[in-house]
Amino acid sequence: MSEQPISVPKGDEKEKSLAEEGAKKLKPCCACPETKRARDQCIIENGEENCTSLIQDHLTCMRKLGFNI
């Protein structure tokens, strides 16, 4: 059996492939639990209009994992 070298993506390519892989394994409801929890708690206590930064943080996290939202 001959072994073939494994190509390892570097930099942005590696992050992109990890994000794509993460999105395939994760469901949107289970991704970014920390930012989701903070966002939801803020919305319950303060209303959506007062939590825009936490909402944006959660959207950014989801996008980094490869979700198209």
For residue 21, what are its two tokens?
């892989």
The model carries a pTM of: 0.64
Residue 42 known to bind ligand: no
- Is 90 exceeded by the pLDDT of residue 66? yes
pLDDT, residue 63, reads: 96
Is residue 47 scored above 80 in pLDDT?
yes
Are 53 and 60 a contacting pair, CB within 8 Å?
Answer: no
56 to 5, 53, 65: CA distances (angstroms): 41, 5, 14
Quick one: average pLDDT of 53-60?
98
Confirm whether residue 30 is marked as ligand binding. Answer: yes
User: Which class for 32: exposed (0-12), middle (13-18), buried (19 or more C-beta within 10 A)?
Assistant: buried
In this predicted structure, what is the pLDDT of residue 25? 78
